[in-house]
Amino acid sequence: MTASLRTFSMALIALVLTATLSFAEDAPANKGVTGTWKWQQQGRNGAVDITLKLKQEGDKVTGTLSGMGNQEQEITDGVVKGSEVTFKVVRDMNGQKMTTTYTCSIDGDSIKGKSETVTTREIDGKRSND
């Protein structure tokens, strides 16, 4: 193989690898659950804007959820398995601890699932650029 053909082959391989890595970084499935997610759910006094901020590290998830009672709450027990994320939020309601369990599925920039405390609420939201 001549030197110029070898140089051309190496440059072509480098170009293909760069394009492949660039595409993989931009693919929605590779974003994981990290990001800000927003949706509305019914509260006692009408619709409430919910904001969920998640950070994924391996199969662990940390973050906050705000909207209900205008408070930002830390999430606990956050886990990712494939496209499913589960976590809990513990709220103090007049001296009583109430735990809400969230089970969601993430597909690109969409999040769907449910939250369960005493009642079950559906989640249908989108990733935000905030």
pLDDT higher than threshold 80 for residue 12: no
Task: Name the pTM for this structure.
Answer: 0.70
* Domain parsing of the chain, residue ranges: 1-28, 32-128
Fold classification of 32-128 (topology level)? Lipocalin (2.40.128)
Question: Contact, 97 vs 91, CB < 8 A?
Answer: yes
Q: How far apart are CA 100 and CA 118, in angstroms?
A: 8
Q: How far apart are CA 58 and CA 39, in angstroms?
A: 25
pLDDT higher than threshold 70 for residue 32: yes
Q: pLDDT averaged over the chain?
A: 80
Amino acid at 119: T
Tens digit of each residue's pLDDT (9 = 90 or more) over 61-106? 999 999 877 789 999 999 999 999 999 999 887 888 989 999 999 9
Q: Is 12 helix (H, G, I), strand (E, B) or coil?
A: helix
Residue 105 CB coordination number (10 Å): 13
88, two tokens = 């809990």
